[in-house]
Structure 1
Amino acid sequence: MSTDAAPRWTVFRNGDFRLFGSARFLTGLAFQMQAVAVGWFVYDITRSALALGLVGLASFLPAMLSALVTGHVADTYDRRLVAALAYATLALADLGLLVAAYLGTTTLWPIYLLVVVIGTGRAFANPALQALLPTLVPRTLFGPAIAWNASLWQSASILGPATGGFLYALGPAVVFGAAAASFALASALILAIRFRPAPVTERPPVTWETLSAGLTYIRTHPVVLGAISLDLVAVLLGGATALLPIFAAEVLHVGPLGLGVLRSMPAAGAVLTAIALAYWPLQRHAGLRMLQAVGLFGLATVGFGLSTSLPLSMACLFVTGAADMISVFVRQTFVQGETPDAMRGRVSAVNSVFIGASNELGEFESGTLAALIGAVPAVVAGGLATLLVAALWGRVFPALRARDRLVPAE
């Protein structure tokens, strides 16, 4: 990967990448505003950690159950159209949440149902977009493109929670309306991308072999398998996102605006790290750096769980975001840079399930454990488990620990 400054900015001269990046920024903004509003809305109704965990489960299940289908769709049809239709669906789901909030519903099943629709839309959008990005830039710009794309997403993740918390003071319907508008605009931007894939003259038959090709590829590439599974297990155990409403309300006593600030901190750490990686990409010991970053993530999670100070809690969450960004950067470079284009959709779909499991399913795990032992012990235990996982994966996947370069020389 080049160390010159020019290639890191060359990616922005690509009009399609600018459209892609703008859409990613808008969807990141919408997802984060939506997450703040749904989490606080559900907790306001129930005051239940388990109810918060069920939101994560409802969001994750569609991705898990449809992964083989969504990957096949991304490899078979125009990825732009797949992503645009998915985001249009998300806009409609947020309009449904707007109506529920406006009517002041206290019944949870319509909210969970709409969260399932949102999870389904994401299940189709994520592999299509992950597979689309490498086709928009040359291979030499993979690293900078991934880093800048991540920084745009994380920048939205900084603004989104704070914006969501601020708008929530005006009412949850306002937040859901803003999210719906963002998704609709992102859909239009994706459609405006000029890149067109080569026409498909003959689509492969839908068989178990074609559907499961992504799983087969990951299973037979130890570095990719180790990187994806490490991120899955670490964030699954160590993630504290679902419990932030409880910490904001009962530990730190900072209200919905404070919740938005807390949710912004991991993204702030991530975006600064992503920009740093775009300028100073990992040159050596990529696998080892990923393992070290996961260990740091676990340590910072323990610190957050034990903190009763808002500044310290913000600092710990900032570090978790920075450490997670290193892990994400390494994993995404492995997945997108080494997978053949004809299989990127299916591999990305499996990768999306792992990401969803580490986030949404992790929220369910956190909520369930917090309901049993309390929010603070649940977060501390999760952080300690993440430290153990980082040490264990270095032994279970020696190829990952020994991996030196992000993108091997061709």
Structure 2
Amino acid sequence: MSAPDSPSSNALRHPSFVFYWLSLWAAGFAVQIMSVSVGWQVYDITRDPLDLGLIGLVQFMPPLLLVLVTGLAADKFNRRGIMGLCLAVEAVCALGLVAFTLSHPTAVWPVFGILAVLGTARAFLNPAADALAPNLLPRQAIAHGISLNSMSWQIANILGPVAGGLLFGISGEAAYGTALGLIGLAVVMVVLIGRVPQPNHAEQTTL
């Protein structure tokens, strides 16, 4: 990724975007930690490879089924508000996984319920987050912002599973607790973004 030509085109010179970018990184890292840890935990309990496929399916289905609704929500409602609400739901999911682990479970159906809620939250968060970035930057900095978002996504997808495996090797509580802390950080970053003007009809309707 080459450096931007001028300070005005450097997305990192815009504090609201920096908070937004850090929130995406933290939340993405947390989700990767949870996904890997859940896979190990479920397999430890059931020893059934089919359950690993179901874990992916449960997380994939909400974005697929809700694609039209989530896109409309990102256009119509306050995008920062959607991000904050979805991250709060993700925090509840992480807390649920901590509680599940502490209960010394023998059945895994609660995990699938938690993952369905998590997948639904991500389904609404991602379009809203994608649409929010241009509202935080001047036109000349948008390309740099997009490249930074792509970089954070790649880092989270590479290092997140590694961190998840290492943390779950310590304990499930350590893995999910770390994810909860990262989501909490993401929520703080979203709050620090501040008020964001939205164009067109999105300004007239708030979440």
**Structure 2: gaps (5+ residues):** none
Q: Distance in 1 between matches of 2:145 and 2:202?
A: 27
- Following the alignment from structure 1 to structure 2, what is the Cα–Cα distance between the partners of residues 51 and 200? 41
Residue identity matched to 1:110: P
Cα distance change of structure 1 residues 3 and 162 upon mapping to structure 2, 3 Å threshold:
closer
1:39-98 deviation digits (Å, cap 9, x = unpaired): 111121222222111001111112122222222221111100111110110010111111
Structure 2 partner of 1:74: 74
Q: Verify the 8 A CA contact 1:79 1:129 in the aligned structure 2.
A: yes
In structure 2, give the amino acid aligned to 1:185: L
Describe how 1:206-355 pairs up with structure 2 within 5 A: none
Conserved 8 A contact 1:8-1:144: no
CA displacement at 1:9 relative to structure 2: 6.8
| 3-state DSSP of counterpart to 1:106 | coil
SS of residue paired to 1:192: helix
1:191 aligns with 2:187: no
Q: Which has the larger radius of gyration?
A: 1
| Partner residue in 1 for 2:179 | 179
User: Matched residue of 1:164: which SS?
Assistant: helix
Is it true that 1:128 corresponds to 2:128 in the alignment?
A: yes
> Tell me, what secondary structure is at the counterpart of 2:32?
helix
Q: How much identity, in percent, do the aligned residues show?
A: 38
SS at the partner of 1:169?
A: helix
Following TM superposition, by how much is the alpha carbon of 1:7 offset from its aligned partner in structure 2, in angstroms? Answer: 6.0
Counterparts of 2:169 and 2:54 in 1: how far apart (Å)? 24
Deviates more, 1:71-80 or 1:189-198: 189-198
- Secondary structure of 1:191's counterpart equals helix
TM-score of the superposed pair, with normalisation by structure 2:
0.88
Q: Report the equivalent of 1:60.
A: 60
User: How many angstroms does 1:156 deviate by?
Assistant: 3.1
C-alpha distance in structure 2 between counterparts of 1:194 and 1:181, whole Å: 21
Q: Residues 3, 93 of structure 1: CA spacing in aligned structure 2 closer, same or farther, 3 A cutoff? A: closer
C-alpha RMSD of the superposition = 2.2
Unaligned runs of 5+ in 1: 204-410
* Number of equivalenced pairs: 202
Distance in 2, matches of 1:4 and 1:33, equals 32
- Which residue of structure 2 lines up, in the alignment, with residue 287 of structure 1? none
User: Are the aligned partners of 1:7 and 1:144 in contact in 2 as well (CA < 8 Å)?
Assistant: no
One-letter amino acid matched to 2:163: T
* Conservation of the 8 A alpha-carbon contact between 2:67 and 2:123: yes
Shift in alpha-carbon separation, 1:201–1:5, aligned structure 2, 3 A: closer
What is the TM-score when the length of structure 1 is the normalising length?
0.46
* Pairing 1:359-374 to 2, within 5 Å after superposition: none
Higher relative contact order (CA 8 A, sep 6+): 2
1:138 Cα deviation after fit: 2.5
Cα contact 2:4–2:10 (8 A) shared by 1? no
Matched with 2:83 is 83
1 CA distance for matches of 2:144 and 2:127?
20
